[in-house]
């Protein structure tokens, strides 16, 4: 495990010295890739290991933050580069970093999906938030029915915006160890700068029921905590959590909020 994160998951030295806690953005190529379930499972996993997690959600969503809050044991906030003034966004990011050991942000839709305005297609997107804050992106890719093509997909996302750091990838719904090895080899060949953080086997994460307006709300899941605890307990079997944490970085360009 990297020295920055001791085996006991103690507080990183930067935070102990009064500096801002690092952050990471969990994103995906599209909705339905598993980023919500992976993010809340990761949040619960880290909390169980003694880390203070400050959860956040990109955009105006009100359902996902309830799941994030439940998983992390603290109130999640919305971060929206399209609807919020830069000063408001900066103040929220600074506050998150001051209250925790890690800022864990769940993206919205696909990484570059946003509002079409002023000649742009990605205003208010997850990519916008990550580029604004400097928090690196970990891409969650639904690997069902995919092998070597994963390299092209990840490389395309990593190179699409030069101001964005796609630092790692997690493959979800992986069928076998051999499948995972093929996916990792494809990414290593196409974009070696993107760390393959591991795999999540098909069926390993909780299933969150949905309806026409989105997920069923967190308060309607009587067994949510038990499901999260069970999934969080085995998350490290296929995912290198220490490597994911090592990618996290403090937000940049936020001095105006101090």
pLDDT tens across 78-101, in order? Answer: 999 999 999 999 999 999 999 899
4 is a domain residue: no
pLDDT grade for 22, boundaries at 50, 70 and 90: very high
How many whole angstroms separate alpha carbon 222 and alpha carbon 206?
A: 13
Determine the average pLDDT of the residues in 51-61: 96
- Please report the pLDDT score of residue 19 as a whole number: 58
Domain annotation covers residue 2:
no
- Distances in Å between the Cα of 78 and the Cα atoms of 108, 122, 214 are 11, 18, 17
In a domain, 28, yes or no: yes
pLDDT digits (tens, 9 = 90+) for 224-258: 889 899 999 999 999 999 999 999 999 986 654 44
- Rounded CA separation 204/6 (Å): 26
Domain assignment of residue 148, given as a range: 19-257
Burial (0-12, 13-18, 19+ Cβ within 10 Å), 193: exposed
The stretch 217-221 carries a mean pLDDT of 56
Q: Residue 207: CA atoms inside 13 Å, Cβ hemisphere, count?
A: 6
Sign of the Cα pseudo-torsion (172, 96, 131, 215, in order): positive
What is the number of domains present in the chain?
A: 1
Count the neighbouring beta carbons within 10 Å of the beta carbon of residue 202: 15
Give the best-scoring range by mean pLDDT among 11-25, 99-113, 220-234: 99-113
User: Looking at the domain assignment, is residue 89 inside a domain?
Assistant: yes
Q: Is 115 helix (H, G, I), strand (E, B) or coil?
A: strand
CATH of residue 179's domain is 3.40.50.300
In a domain, 219, yes or no: yes
Average pLDDT over residues 3-13: 38
Considering the domain boundaries, does residue 234 fall inside one? yes
């Amino acid at each position: 495990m990297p020295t920055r994160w001791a085996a006991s998951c103690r507080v990183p030295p930067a935070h102990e010295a009064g500096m801002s806690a690092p952050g990471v953005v969990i994103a995906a190529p599209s909705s339905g890739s598993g980023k919500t379930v992976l993010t809340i499972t990761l949040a619960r996993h880290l909390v169980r290991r003694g880390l203070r997690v400050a959860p956040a959600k990109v955009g105006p969503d009100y359902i996902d933050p309830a799941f994030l809050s439940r998983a992390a044991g603290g109130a999640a906030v919305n971060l929206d580069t399209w609807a919020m003034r830069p000063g408001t966004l900066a103040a929220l990011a600074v506050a998150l970093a001051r209250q925790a050991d890690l800022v864990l942000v769940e993206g919205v839709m696909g990484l570059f999906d946003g509002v079409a305005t002023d000649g742009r297609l990605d205003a208010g997107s997850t990519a916008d938030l990550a580029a604004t804050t400097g928090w690196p992106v970990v891409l969650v890719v639904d690997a069902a029915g995919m092998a070597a093509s994963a390299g092209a997909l990840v490389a395309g996302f990593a190179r699409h915006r030069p101001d964005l750091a796609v630092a790692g990838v997690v493959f979800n719904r992986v069928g076998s160890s051999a499948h995972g090895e093929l996916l990792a080899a494809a990414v290593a060949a196409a974009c070696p700068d993107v760390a393959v953080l591991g795999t999540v086997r098909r069926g390993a994460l909780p299933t969150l029921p949905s309806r026409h307006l989105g997920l069923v709300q967190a308060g309607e899941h009587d067994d949510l905590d038990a499901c999260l605890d069970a999934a969080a307990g085995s998350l490290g079997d296929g995912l290198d959590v220490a490597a994911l944490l090592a990618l996290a970085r403090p937000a940049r360009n936020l001095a105006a909020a101090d």
